[in-house]
Amino acid sequence: MKLLRYGPKGQEKPGMLDREGAVRDLSGVIPDLRAEMLTPEGLAPLRALDPATLPKVANPGRMAPPWAGMGKFVCVGLNYADHAAESGLPVPAEPVLFTKHTSTVIGCNDPVVLPQGSVKTDWEVELGVVIGRRARYVSQAEALQHVAGYCVVNDVSEREYQIERGGTWDKGKGCDTFGPVGPWLVTADEVADPQQLGMWLEVNGKRMQNGSTRTMVFGVAELVSYISRFMTLYPGDLISTGTPPGVGMGMKPAPVYLRPGDVMRLSIEGLGEQQQSVHAWNPVLIDG
């Protein structure tokens, strides 16, 4: 299934994508698609539906984050060896973990708003892993049984805040609007192998990133198992699994960063496409 939410902020409705790519309205079946519904038991009634029996949405408009009530947004740094190299850092011996605040989360086509004074905001296309069963000290062999599905994430990052302002990465990763998610949550049964997905990102029509999840240092199963040793993962928690090379910070001969008016477009095979315009600081764009 490809599950989604659509509509203006505060008025989102749940939906499902049919085989022809049309949005079908689920609001007559469930009031919303929430984190606690992403368990196998919660998804079972939706699997039983024939999308053709649901009302077709002629113009869904805004694509919202695919589910509501995300508890944790856990990220993995330097998880592609060639990205570590372009960052001038060694390949980590264990996964590097940090968090993005859930206040970063926006719809896949919502505007990305630069923080006040930002001069080094960057892009990162990443595979998102959505938890569907509570996971605590799960083995690598069992880890994928705890995954509800997958999605596209743009791990937008302010590099000055991340690297030059002291402290942890979180302050450069956690700015408002820095976590576009979607357009859909694609359930795990539709992703034959999460380690064989092509991915790309363009800025203003120029291809910047072109990679594949097969080159991850730590694969999805290993990451779910590893992270579950340090925190309990709950349905609706999101793991963003790292980015391939081609980020602005690594451009030669000089880094390239986002400016107001830029447009990012990104996709992962089978998981849909995002597009965000970049705006100067404007709280109206954040608060709606």
Q: How far is CA 175 from CA 100, 114, 155, 170, in A?
A: 8, 8, 11, 9
Which residues in the chain land under pLDDT 50?
A: none
**Residue 224 backbone zone (phi > 0: left; psi -120 to 50: alpha; other: beta):** alpha
Q: Specify the pLDDT at position 125.
A: 98
Domains and CATH numbers, the chain: 65-287 (3.90.850.10)
Q: Specify the pLDDT at position 247.
A: 96
Please state, in angstroms and rounded to a whole number, the distance separating the CA atoms of residues 29 and 13: 11
Residue-wise pLDDT tens digits, 214-240: 999 999 999 999 999 999 999 999 999
- Strand, coil or helix: what is 49? coil
**pTM (two decimals):** 0.96
Q: Specify the pLDDT at position 118.
A: 94
Q: Specify the pLDDT at position 88.
A: 81
